[in-house]
Structure 1
Amino acid sequence: MTPNSASSAPSRRNFLASTAVAAAAVAGGMPLLSACGGSQSGSKDGTTSGKDAAKILPSFVASTVVAPDIPAKNGSAAGFTKAIAEADLKTSVTKKLGSGGKLKIMAPFWGTPPKGDNPYYTAMNKAIGVDVTWQNQDGVTYDEKLGAVLASSDIPDVVVVPGWNLNGKIPGAINAKFADLGPYLSGDKVKDYPNLAAVPTEAWQRGIFGGQLRAIPMPASYVTDIAPLYRKDIFDKKGYSVPTSPKEFLSWAKEATRPKSKVWACDDMKWTAFNIFSVFPGSDKALWWNMVDGKLVNRIETDEYLEALEWVRKLYAAKVVHPDAVSGKAGGNAGNRLTSGEVLVYNQNISDWWGKMSEQHAQNPDFEIAAFDIFGPDGGDPKLWAVQPANIFTFISKKASKQQIKDFLAVCDFCAAPYGTKEFMLTMYGVEGTDYEVKKGLPAKTTQGVNEVNGAFDYTGNPAPFVAYTDFPDVTKGMVEWQQRMGAFTRKTSFFGLTVTEPNRWANLADSFEQLEDDVVRGRKKISDVQQAVADWKSKGGDDLRDWYKKLLDDTGSAK
């Protein structure tokens, strides 16, 4: 039986991509490099990268329960392209690890939370051996709820914290309120939980807060997840060649744009431009910085940053960008503009490759999209930068008993079961006949399953990254191989894999740059305005922030 899902539920993965810019972590108090020690709660200063991190991090033992059709390579996900019959599903949790104890878990939820006694929750609790009660909170205002709860003296047993909520006083509260999992997971101790042992070390590194292993991380591929997706069916029909340089792209875009026929070459291409011109990642504030020729440099200070904006500005000036993107409607409707044929190229989370194919296939069997390879500014190989290998974290209270911590880890280990196992099927699809039905050998969620089987157990544990869209095996193959090709050109910036919280006095220092970027590419501001903004940023604290980051790097070292 073959689940039509990627390594994390599509709703989580897509939400993460759409909010990447807003996810930068800022906090007050003394400098905190969560993966490198120095906390607000009195834990030791110094380094937890390098040798010290080795004492904290769990041993890595790759899972051999189910072999992927396409092994992971160059930081990519693994790929599964073939259906696995229910009778062939493997078992990764050979004995029930839960003690029958109770846990309350608070997590974000987008939509209307299901009833607490629904069949899915009941089946999961029985299989794991832990009585979990979910305290679902509105995902839109989760940061407010999270802050209030962590400021109180009474917090739930377990709390899910998305990376984009690591701001204000939350990081300090994490160090003060959540337990050290090291005594249960560090080194070979993790082997008591084989599915957690198969979580990549880079993801665990992100789970070190305040010098201790406090979080169960949600692993992700470090290869950029923003891909330039295009209408392959229209390209083939029109005889278009996929562009292989910025110059070729602009030339093709002018040829393909037909306003009278309501066809424009592309939507906003800013995030692809940042990749083409090798701009340091913008999805995490720590990744904005990198050592260049002995100096710590921020992405906004680089020539590459200005070159990327200038190229996108040329696209807008040539009127090859859809008018809705010009007016600022570049977000939620961009995918619809692609599927309608009004736009031929747009950039989006790579999971949308499957999303759009699945959505359109029944009504338009000829519909086909793909991702073209990112090229360099001169048409040669690109120089790409890695994104963070984990961005959602789950913690357990310091007040939890040892048995509660073990029960928590039992939940996490069960939910981190790999694709192709009975545990994975239950976690991701729920109860057969209630939450899903098998159609043509593939599980399909019922309306009840759609409402109930999401935003809960899938937060508490996840296997190493993988793609398993077996209803579209060519898409799975295309996605993984694209990641592998792009991964071959991907390098890591100085703070890759580390969770950094900036001092509050500089928290909003760079907030205006995203709007400025959008104004520049649309012709409302000039490149010189960016240069002036960078100069202002430096004088108002950017240079001081550079010194802060440099000292952090000198004191702790890199996790690369």
Structure 2
Amino acid sequence: MPRRHGRDRRRRSRVRLRGHRRRHLPGRAGTPGGATSSGAGAGEILPSYIPKEYVQPDFPAPASGYTSIPEFVQAFPAPPGSGGTYKAMTPLWGAIPPTTGNLYFDTVNKAIGSKVEFQISDGNTYGDKLAAVLASPKDIADWVCIPSWNVPPRFGTAVDQLFTDLTPYLAGDKVKEYPNLANIPTDAWRFCVWNNKLVGLPMPDSGVPNPLFYRDDIFAELGITDLPTTPDELIELAKQLTDPGKGVYGAEDLWTQAANMYETPSKWKLDGDKLVHRVETEEYRGALEWIRKLFEAGVVHPDAVAGNNGDAKTRFESGRTLIANDGIGGWSEALQRNLGSNPGYSQRPMPVFGVNGTDVKIYKGNAASIMSYLKKTDDEAKIKELLKIADFLASPFGTTEYQLINFGVENEHYTIDGDGLPVSTELAATELQPTYIFLVDPPVANTKVQFPGYVEASSTWINETAKHFVDPVFYGLNIAEPSEYASLATPFTDLEKDIARGRKSLSDLDAAVETWRKSGGEELRTFYQKILDEQ
């Protein structure tokens, strides 16, 4: 998917050991009248969580960090499939590989014992393609990937007609028949429930927030050892780091950090029994007040002030800015880009803090944002074969199946270097792109051992940060809003930028909130309140 979502699964020239990733994903409106799932309160609808470790991590979940490459274990002594052939529709953010005459696909399908024929589409236009296909049920593939940001209108009411109810096969202890699916944490399955039925298969995510990174290598050169523990201290540090004469600024646009520090909900919060929208909260106002102070202090790089956030990574990695938000996956990607030419390059995430110091709560991100669905069928043998394939694809890190799915065939798609790491070949660049992972994926594993100290540092930060996690209101619910409310919150995106840069004031926020309420916000609140009362 696109880099800005923090999970770049495209081929690397050297190694593609996967690590934690975090996304900020756009939502989609739903059908008039709305539709919902009962994910958070699904009870026996959800599969039992039965952890299965083929190799034990050095750091426990949620980090699941491995500091060395283990001996791989074979999870499937024989192919689980029954020889069926199934079409699968998936997105791809990268060059689409050939789907025939492809050693990678042929080898994986042989190991599965069934044939998965991919219909791969450009991820940037996948939503349009998906909507067209779902509008014509006869054209739907046997297995369809639907990212949460591509859920089409009226999906909540159409899902029962289009896709197979997996509840009878996976709910509760029934999932034991598929041990690798049972190894997927419960939170990921919550996002697969529609209309009180388990319909989807998840691609798990860690749910960690975007860290606030700092250039610890440059901090060491400057003799800076004390990190901030309050929002005001962060601004003071950014002032200390800023030297316009040298073209160095303390920070990028830190709106994500502002929202995190002030514990701003992503959409709703409960004030007693009343639902309060994000834009109505004191937390949102506090975040806006702080981000304006940051910009007024003159510590934000001029290009970021001008709204050019596309080059933020380049500015940060070149040392023109020294503090920036990024997805957790961006950390290892930056090391991949820079260590070759700058062996001393280093960035670290700051320990989390907020308006209440280090006593801060952090709203969890989605435990899954990409799901797949099986085409509606009454053929039980077909459903079970597809679930056996899914169980194979969910083989976790430490298995030969995982290695095959992610790296291909040894000595064809990769070789092993002196450190035991897979090195991609030219054939891999042509044939091997992430495809099977969009159907179902194992729990996230932090395995980037090629970067000295990375697994230890990132795993420690993740596990410490997770201690502050709280569930947002409606966490794990698939809710399709009535379409007439789809653009209600849109004006606030520009307003946030304008207030930060001094073009508008907090009185403009008050006016915008009042417009939101009169333009449908109160009705939207009633819609969500009904859902809340039903949970």
Which range, TM-score by smaller chain? over 0.9
Q: Percent identity?
A: 38
The counterpart of 2:64, out of the listed 55, 75, 78, is 78
Aligned equivalents of 2:280 and 2:367: distance in 1? 25
2:494 alignment counterpart: 515
Counterpart check, 1:172 vs 2:157: yes
> Which amino acid in structure 2 is aligned with residue 32 of structure 1?
A
1:154-553 equivalent positions in 2, closer than 5 A: 154=138, 155-224=140-209, 226-240=210-224, 241-281=226-266, 288-330=267-309, 332-399=310-377, 401-440=379-418, 441-553=420-532
Q: What whole-Å deviation, never above 9, does each CA across 1:167-207 have from its counterpart, x for those lacking one?
A: 42334332320011122212222111110010111111211
Aligned equivalents of 1:503 and 1:334: distance in 2? 36
Counterpart check, 1:115 vs 2:98: yes
Aligned equivalents of 2:396 and 2:286: distance in 1? 42
User: Could you say if the C-alpha distance between residues 190 and 14 of structure 1 is closer, same or farther in structure 2, counting changes exceeding 3 Å?
Assistant: closer
Aligned equivalents of 2:175 and 2:142: distance in 1? 21
The counterpart of 2:86, out of the listed 76, 96, 103, is 103
Aligned equivalents of 1:538 and 1:451: distance in 2? 53
Indicate if the aligned counterparts of 1:246 and 1:378 stay in contact, CA closer than 8 A: no
The counterpart of 2:45, out of the listed 56, 64, 70, is 56
TM-score (normalizing by structure 2) = 0.93
> Which amino acid in structure 2 is aligned with residue 212 of structure 1?
K
Shift, 1:473, TM fit: 4.9
Aligned equivalents of 2:181 and 2:429: distance in 1? 27
Indicate if the aligned counterparts of 1:196 and 1:413 stay in contact, CA closer than 8 A: yes
Shift, 1:16, TM fit: 8.2
Aligned equivalents of 1:54 and 1:255: distance in 2? 52
Aligned equivalents of 1:381 and 1:254: distance in 2? 25
Shift, 1:294, TM fit: 2.0
> Which amino acid in structure 2 is aligned with residue 60 of structure 1?
Y
Q: What whole-Å deviation, never above 9, does each CA across 1:118-153 have from its counterpart, x for those lacking one?
A: 111111100001111100011111111100000013
Aligned equivalents of 1:188 and 1:17: distance in 2? 30
RMSD: 2.0
Q: What whole-Å deviation, never above 9, does each CA across 1:57-113 have from its counterpart, x for those lacking one?
A: 1121101311111011xxx331111122xxx21122233210110000001112321
Secondary structure, aligned partner of 1:125: helix
TM-score (normalizing by structure 1) = 0.89
Aligned equivalents of 1:142 and 1:386: distance in 2? 27
Indicate if the aligned counterparts of 1:92 and 1:195 stay in contact, CA closer than 8 A: no
Indicate if the aligned counterparts of 1:9 and 1:454 stay in contact, CA closer than 8 A: no
User: Could you say if the C-alpha distance between residues 430 and 468 of structure 1 is closer, same or farther in structure 2, counting changes exceeding 3 Å?
Assistant: same
User: Could you say if the C-alpha distance between residues 21 and 121 of structure 1 is closer, same or farther in structure 2, counting changes exceeding 3 Å?
Assistant: closer
Larger displacement relative to structure 2 (290-299 or 451-460) = 451-460
Aligned equivalents of 1:469 and 1:64: distance in 2? 18
Aligned equivalents of 1:307 and 1:447: distance in 2? 52
Aligned equivalents of 1:259 and 1:90: distance in 2? 55
Indicate if the aligned counterparts of 1:27 and 1:170 stay in contact, CA closer than 8 A: yes
> Which amino acid in structure 2 is aligned with residue 197 of structure 1?
A
Shift, 1:395, TM fit: 0.4
Q: What whole-Å deviation, never above 9, does each CA across 1:26-54 have from its counterpart, x for those lacking one?
A: 101333112x2xxxxxxxxxxx654xx22
Indicate if the aligned counterparts of 1:216 and 1:461 stay in contact, CA closer than 8 A: yes
Number of residue equivalences: 520
Indicate if the aligned counterparts of 2:96 and 2:433 stay in contact, CA closer than 8 A: no
Aligned equivalents of 2:179 and 2:33: distance in 1? 37
Aligned equivalents of 1:551 and 1:383: distance in 2? 26
1:45 alignment counterpart: none
1:25 alignment counterpart: 28
User: Could you say if the C-alpha distance between residues 443 and 451 of structure 1 is closer, same or farther in structure 2, counting changes exceeding 3 Å?
Assistant: same
Larger displacement relative to structure 2 (226-235 or 428-437) = 428-437
Indicate if the aligned counterparts of 1:309 and 1:521 stay in contact, CA closer than 8 A: yes
Indicate if the aligned counterparts of 1:83 and 1:470 stay in contact, CA closer than 8 A: yes
Counterpart check, 1:89 vs 2:72: yes
User: Could you say if the C-alpha distance between residues 221 and 56 of structure 1 is closer, same or farther in structure 2, counting changes exceeding 3 Å?
Assistant: same
Indicate if the aligned counterparts of 1:290 and 1:495 stay in contact, CA closer than 8 A: no
Aligned equivalents of 1:156 and 1:10: distance in 2? 23
Aligned equivalents of 2:485 and 2:346: distance in 1? 45
1:4 alignment counterpart: none
- Give every structure 1 segment of 4 or more consecutive aligned residues whose post-TM-superposition deviation is greater than 6 Å: 12-16
1:120-139 equivalent positions in 2, closer than 5 A: 120-139=104-123
> Which amino acid in structure 1 is aligned with residue 375 of structure 2?
S
Secondary structure, aligned partner of 2:307: coil
Q: What whole-Å deviation, never above 9, does each CA across 1:503-524 have from its counterpart, x for those lacking one?
A: 1121111112112111211222
Aligned equivalents of 1:476 and 1:545: distance in 2? 43
Larger displacement relative to structure 2 (242-251 or 534-543) = 242-251
Indicate if the aligned counterparts of 2:22 and 2:207 stay in contact, CA closer than 8 A: no
Aligned equivalents of 2:239 and 2:413: distance in 1? 48
Q: What whole-Å deviation, never above 9, does each CA across 1:510-557 have from its counterpart, x for those lacking one?
A: 1121121112112222122122111111111111111111111111x2
> Which amino acid in structure 2 is aligned with residue 172 of structure 1?
T
Gaps of 5+ in 2: 1-5, 12-17
Aligned equivalents of 2:19 and 2:526: distance in 1? 35
User: Could you say if the C-alpha distance between residues 133 and 340 of structure 1 is closer, same or farther in structure 2, counting changes exceeding 3 Å?
Assistant: same
Secondary structure, aligned partner of 2:323: strand
Secondary structure, aligned partner of 1:160: strand
Indicate if the aligned counterparts of 2:360 and 2:468 stay in contact, CA closer than 8 A: yes
